Chain A
Amino acid sequence: MTTNPTTLTPEQLEAFGAELDAIRQRIVADLGEADATYIRKVVKRQRQLEVAGRAMFYLPPLWPLAVASLSLSKILDNMEIGHNVMHGQYDWMGDPGLSSRMYEWDNVCPSEQWKYSHNYIHHTYTNILGKDRDIGYGILRMDEDQPWHPYYLGNPLYAFLLMVFFEWGVAMHDLEVENIVKGTRRMEENRALHAGIMRKVKRQALKDYLLFPALTGPLFPLTLAGNATANLVRNVWAFNIIFCGHFPAGVATFSEEECEDESRGQWYYRQLLGSANITGGRLFHVLTGNLSHQIEHHLFPDLPARRYPEIAPEIRDLCERHDLPYNTGRLGGQLLSVAKKICRLALPGGGTASRQPEQDGDEAVAA
C-alpha cells in the first residue's frame, strides 16, 4: 500500500524532528579517530582485495577466488566507500582521498553526475512521485500511482535487465532518456553529460576489458570473463540491496502537493516512511555500505555509515513511541516483497483509488 498514515500533529512532528536533530548532533560532536581509522581500514581491505584478485588471474585454478576477490573489492568500493564518501560523510577529515569533491568510484557512472542525481535529487525528493527519479529508474513501474501502460507488461524483464546491467542503468539514469522520449527534456541538455559518461566508460572498459586481460597474455579470455563476472556480481548485489531500500511492501510514496513547505520534522518523517532496512550481521552491513540501514541513512545521509547500526535502536525506539512504522526485515523477505511488487505492477491496477488516506480527524496533517 502506498498510503501515508500521517498520524502526527504538527507539534508531534516538531518534537520528532527535534529528537532526530539531537541524535545527529551527538554523533557529529563525537566524530573522530575511530571513524577515520575505520574508513581507512575499509579502503585498505578494498585495495588488497583488488590487487589480490588481479594477481590471482595469473593462476587459472584460482579463477573463482580471483573473481570473488575482485567482486568484493568492487562491492566495497561502490558501497561502503564510494557511496558514503560521495555523500560527504568523511569530508570533515580533510583527506583528499576521502573527499566528496574528489572521489571517483569503480563504476561507469561518473561520480560528479551521480552526486547530482543521487545526493541531490533522490535524497531531497525521496519517494515523491514525479520528483524522485529513483522510483523505477525511469523504466520500471514501482508505484501504484504511476499510470499503467502496456509497456509495463515487461516490468519483470526490465527489472532483470536493470539488475544485470545496473552500473550502466545508473549511468544512463542521469540522461533522463524517458523524459527525452516524453519530450520534456531536450537532447542538447544531455550533450555534456554524455561526454562525461563516455570518458568514464572508456576508462572503466579499458582497464577491465583490455589492459588487465592483455597483461595476463594467453589467459586474456579468462581474465576478461573474470572481470566481467566481477562487474556482474557487483551489479546484482548493488541492485538487490538498493531495491530493498525503498520498494518493499509498507514503504510510502508521496505526492508533490503533500510535500510543499515541508517542515524539518515532516522531512524526517517522509525519509523514515520512504525507506526500509534489512537485518543482518556486521559483515553483511559493511558489504551493503550500511544501506541495510537505509532508514538511518535517509535520515542522516552525511553521517559516517558505520554509525547507523549504533543509532538504529534509538530510531526504532523513537518510532515505537510515535507509533510510526519502522520497515525492516531479512534480506530474503524484503527481496521477495520487492519481486512481488515488480510483477504485480506489470499489470494494470493500483492507481489513485488505493491512496485512501487512513488518517481521520482534524489533527492529522498532510506530510
Chain B
Amino acid sequence: MGLAETLLRSRAVAALASPQGVDRYLEQVNPMWAVHEVRARIVRVTREVDVPGHPPVATITLQPTSTWQGHRAGQHVQLGVEIHGARRTTRVFSVSSPDSRPGDRFTITLRANHDLPPGRSVSRFLVEEARPGQLVHLSQAEGGFVLPDAVPEHVLMISGGSGITPVMSMLRSLQRRTHRGRVTFVHYARSPEHQIFAEELDTIRRSGYGVDVHLLHPEQGDPALTPMWLDRLVPGYREVPTWACGPAPMVDALRAAYDGSTTLRLEYFKPPRTSSGDAEGEVEFSRSGAAAANTGAPLLEQAEALGLRPEFGCRMGICFSCVSTKTEGTVRNVLTGESSSLPDEDIRICVSAPVGDCVVDL
C-alpha cells in the first residue's frame, strides 16, 4: 500500500470528505479507485459448458480494486451488478479460483438462472450479457467453509452440480500448494456434457499427486450417494475430514450418511423460494425468528400481529421510516399492484404484502 493510499485512508482525509466519504469522490475520477469499498472490473467471460436446452455455465475473471483483501479457497463473495444501468442486484457466488491475496484477480463460476426473467437474474446477466470492462460491486470474501491452515493428510471433497465451485477452489489451492497428502474428489453431474472443469480435472487425475477424481452421472447408471458406496470408496469415510457442497437432496443424503459426524463440513445455498397465489405460504421475520402463515396483509401489520414492533411512520408508503430488507420471496405493492421478487431488496413494509413465502430481516 502506497503513501497515497495510507493518506486517503486517514482520519484527516475522512474528515475532509465528510459526510460523503472518500470513495464517493474517488469513484467520480476512476471507478477502480477506492480505499474502503470493493469493486471489480470483468476481465474475461469464458463459457464452461453449453448444453443445448440447459442454462449455460461461465467463468468470470475479475480484477478487483486494491481494497480486495484476498480470499481463502471455499469462501464466497456478494456480487452486485447494475442490470441495464439502473437497478443493482446482489447475489452470492463462490470463488472458483485458488486462494487470492490482496488485489489479486480471481474467478467465479456460475450457471445462468433461467427461472427468473432476463433483467432480474444476476447470474443470467453475468453469463449471457456481461462483457469485459464492465464494473461490478463486491463484498470482501465471506464464509467459514475453508480448509484449515494445516491441511489433513486425507481430504474428501464431495460436490453436486454448480456446488463444485468452492471445492474446485480448494482443489486448485492444494495443487498450487503442492499438498502431499491424499484427496478424494467426488462430483455428481447430470451428464458428461454438463461436467464443468472436465479437462482440468482429467489433467489432475492423470498427473496430480494423490488425487482420486470420481466424476459420476447417476442418470447414466453411476452409483448414487449412499453410505454403502461411500464406504467402499473411502473406507471409514465418517472419520475423514470432508468438505461438501451441492443441492438440497445431496446435502440431505450426506447428513444422513455422516450421521452427525463432526468431520463433515457443508456449504449449501438455498435456491430462491418462489410461490404464486395471494395469501399462501409463510411469512418469516428472520432476526426475531417469528413466523406465521401469510394472511395477505401488509408485512408491517403481519409483524405487529406477531408481537414485533418494527419502526414505522406514515403507514401509507410515503415516509420510508419502515424500510426493511426482504431477503426472500415476492411482495406486492398494495398501492401500485406492482410485484417484485428480487432477493435482498429494500421494501416499505407498510405497503408491501407478501405473495406466498416471504422472509424479511426484522
Residues of A within 8 A of B (CB): 21, 24-25, 28-29, 31-33, 35-37, 43-44, 47-48, 51, 86-88, 91-95, 97, 99-101, 104-106, 115-116, 119-120, 123-124, 200, 203-204, 206-207, 211-212, 215, 267, 301-302
Contacts and interface: CB of A to CB of B under 8 A. Distances in A.
A33 B313 contact: no
Interface in B309-355: 313-314, 316-321, 323, 335-338, 345-346, 348
Contacts of A29: 338
Given A25-B336, A51-B25, A91 B323 contact: yes
Given A31-B86, A94-B87, A301-B318, 14 more contacts: A32-B86, A33-B85, A36-B85, A47-B24, A87-B320, A88-B323, A91-B346, A93-B86, A119-B313, A119-B320, A124-B319, A206-B18, A207-B16, A267-B316
Size range of the chain B interface in the assembly: 20 to 34
A51 B20 CA distance: 13
Interface in B70-122: 80, 82, 84-90
A97 B24 contact: yes
- Give 4 nearest A-B pairs by CB, closest first: A120-B313, A94-B88, A104-B19, A36-B86
Contacts of A99: 346
Contacts of A24: 335-336
B12 interface: yes
7 contacts: A25-B338, A32-B86, A100-B320, A116-B321, A120-B319, A206-B18, A301-B318
A124 B316 contact: yes
Contacts of A43: 28
B15 interface: yes
B127 to A, nearest CB: 20
B316 A211 contact: no
Interface in B1-42: 12, 15-16, 18-20, 24-25, 28
Nearest to B80: A94
B276 to A, nearest CB: 21
Given A97-B24, A211-B15, A120 B89 contact: no
Interface of B: 12, 15-16, 18-20, 24-25, 28, 80, 82, 84-90, 313-314, 316-321, 323, 335-338, 345-346, 348
Contacts of B15: 203, 206-207, 211
Contacts of A35: 86
Nearest to A200: B19
B320 A94 contact: no
A124 B320 contact: no
A215 B28 CA distance: 23
Contacts of B20: 104, 106
A203 B313 contact: no
A212 B12 CA distance: 11
Nearest to A82: B19
A215 B12 CA distance: 11
Given A115-B320, A302-B317, A28 B336 contact: yes
A302 B322 CA distance: 14
Contact of B313 (A95, A124, A200, A206): A124
B116 to A, nearest CB: 15
Nearest to B18: A203
A116 B323 CA distance: 13
A281 B14 CA distance: 37
B19 A94 contact: no
A51 B28 CA distance: 11
A93 to B, nearest CB: 6
A87 B19 CA distance: 18
Contacts of A25: 336-338
Contacts of A92: 86-87
A302 B24 contact: no
Given A100-B320, A301-B318, A37 B85 contact: yes
B90 A94 contact: yes
B87 A119 contact: no
Contacts of A44: 28
A43 B24 CA distance: 9
Contacts of B316: 124, 267
Contacts of B323: 88, 91, 100-101
A366 B257 CA distance: 71
A48 B19 contact: no
Contacts of B317: 302
Contacts of B338: 25, 28-29
Given A36-B85, A87-B320, A94 B28 contact: no
